[in-house]
A and B are shown apart, each in its own frame.
Chain A
Amino acid sequence: MLPKFEYYSPTSLSEALDLLEKYGEDAKIIAGGTDLLVSMRDRILKPKCLIDIKKIPELRRIEYKEGVGLTIGAAVTFKDILEYPNLEKKYRVLWEAVKTIGDMILRNRATLVGNICNASPAADSAPALLILDARARIINKNDGVREVPLERFFIGVKKTILKPTEIVKEVFVPEPPANCYGKYVKVMRVQSEDLAVVGVAGLAYRDRGDLIIRLAYSSVAPTPIRVKEVEEVFKKKNMSLDEKIEEAVKISSEKVSPISDVRGSAEYRLNLVKVATRRLIKELVEVV
């Protein structure tokens, strides 16, 4: 049984923002409900009012513009993303990450914006979004839209910079670097459906011949994190590729701060970070 609440299904964004302004802390947005309803069932959350955003046409928009980027509205499901033409090629790392989330039935309902707003350290879409320089477009009733890089959006376990009166309208993912290659590695306990023990997203490309590598992680820190420091390593001139890879592995393993839980011990996770990072970089380098 779910705790009691009032339910609204506004058909415009302005109506939804009015409701949020009115109810503030007492209200919660519901998109796919796949995180929210579970937390409510467990009585972790007891909102007095749910605002369903699925009937707002503007939020259902997913659109890619060549040379500009990809806009993913707050009511766009993972299924919509997987079915959008050419994303598998253009945004391979994101597409792969989305494909690992839950199962086909769950992806019919669950949204990408819900995934980041829920701000679980294990959010599978987050590492890919971080290395693609994605930005959240946030709106409230009075101030219009503000754009926040995803790196500044997460502030702790299940905590974001969102104020109670704000909605993430959409996520914008800029055009990826030309000829880049990306990959998401999700290490799981079982070969089926589970949250990641460790997740690593990598993106590699060449900038006038110089190798550029970006890395981000899930499930190894209070928030999903991008380790920007490794990006400097690959710009160095006086090191061999193998030395650079080992340096990157070392930096990444120092930047993460895994905990022990039902999915694995901190020690195991740290070891996985090293192994997965090393393998991933080697694979990326072979392609670009």
Chain B
Amino acid sequence: MSRRKIRFKINGVEKTVEVEPNKTLLWLIREELKLKGTKKACERGDCGLCTVLLNGEPVKSCLVLAVEVDGSDILTVEGLAKNGELAPIQRAFIEHGATQCGFCTPAFLIVGHWLINRNPNPSREEVVEAINGLLCRCTGYKPIIDAILEAAKYMRRT
């Protein structure tokens, strides 16, 4: 199995690494780059907790091959805060207690961030639709939905 050289940008930083074709994007992020915010759980597309932005769109990174991201731009939860300042979505999650055990939080932050940047005035239904592929076993989703709506308000103010 031949290794492949891939180049990509992750959280604004250019990287070049060699990977085997049978490695996933999730593996690349967690094991090669040691960015452990993105979670590994079901590894079959069901839980959505491995979600990151690939060229600006959310994908479940356990179902993307690392070799496929050659030339791409990736955003993980570690790339949300800028110069030590939390992103609007992160502030809103803290204020709404949208985190309990925290295992699902990175995925919800990424999808919430994606949604409010695309649509700074989402309806509750649009938020529910956006997070439909993500599982949380603690919060019952309400504080998460409230936090995303609140973060959208921050976005509209700035």
- Of B7-15, B53-61, B84-92, B150-158, the one with at least 4 CB within 8 A of chain A: B53-61
The reply to whether A33 and B133 form a contact with Cβ atoms under 8 Å apart is no
Whether A104 and B58, one on each chain, are in contact in the complex, defined by CB atoms closer than 8 angstroms, is: yes
Nearest Cβ on chain B to A32's Cβ, whole angstroms: 8
Give the residue name and chain of the A residue nearest to B21 (CB): A7
Chain B residues contacting A2 (CB-CB under 8 Å) are 22-24
- Contact yes or no, B59 A105, CB < 8 A: yes
Judged by a CB distance under 8 angstroms, whether A5 is at the interface is yes
Number of A-B residue pairs having CB atoms within 8 Å of each other in the complex: 74
- Whether A6 sits at the interface, judged by CB under 8 Å, is yes
The interface stretch among A34-42, A90-98, A116-124, A267-275 is A34-42
CA A33 to CA B46, docked complex, whole Å: 14
Instruction: Give the chain B neighbours of A50 by CB distance below 8 A.
Output: 21, 65
Q: Are A105 and B24 in contact (CB under 8 A)?
A: no
- Contacts A1-B22, A5-B22, A50-B21 given; indicate if A109 touches B59 (C-beta within 8 A): yes
Query: Is the pair A5, B57 in contact by a Cβ cutoff of 8 Å?
Result: no
Report the bound CA distance from A3 to B65 in whole Å. Answer: 12
Q: Are A33 and B2 in contact (CB under 8 A)?
A: no
State whether A5 and B63 are in contact (beta carbons under 8 Å apart), knowing that A34-B45, A52-B68, A104-B133 are contacts in the complex.
no
Query: Counting CB contacts under 8 A, is A288 at the interface?
Result: no
B123 interfacial contact with A, CB 8 Å: no
Counting contact residues on chain A (CB < 8 A from B), the size range is 20 to 34
* B4 x A7 contact (CB < 8 A): yes
Bound form: Cα–Cα A33–B23 in Å: 13
B35 at interface, CB cutoff 8 A? no
Given contacts A7-B65, A38-B63, A41-B43, contact A193 B24 (CB under 8 A): no
Determine which of A3, A4, A52, A108 lies in contact with B58 in the assembled complex, contact meaning CB atoms within 8 Å.
A108
Give Cα A54 to B64, complex, Å.
12
- B 100-126 binary contact with A (CB < 8 Å = 1; else 0): 000000000001000000000000000
Known: A5-B22, A6-B1. 20 other contacts (CB 8 A): A2-B24, A4-B20, A9-B68, A33-B64, A34-B63, A37-B63, A37-B65, A38-B44, A41-B44, A52-B65, A52-B68, A54-B68, A103-B132, A104-B130, A105-B48, A105-B58, A105-B60, A106-B60, A109-B63, A193-B133
Report which B residues bind A (CB closer than 8 A).
Answer: 1-2, 4, 20-24, 43-46, 48, 51, 57-60, 62-65, 67-68, 111, 129-130, 132-134
Chain A contacts to B: CB under 8 angstroms: 1-7, 9, 30, 32-34, 37-38, 41, 50, 52, 54, 102-106, 108-109, 192-193
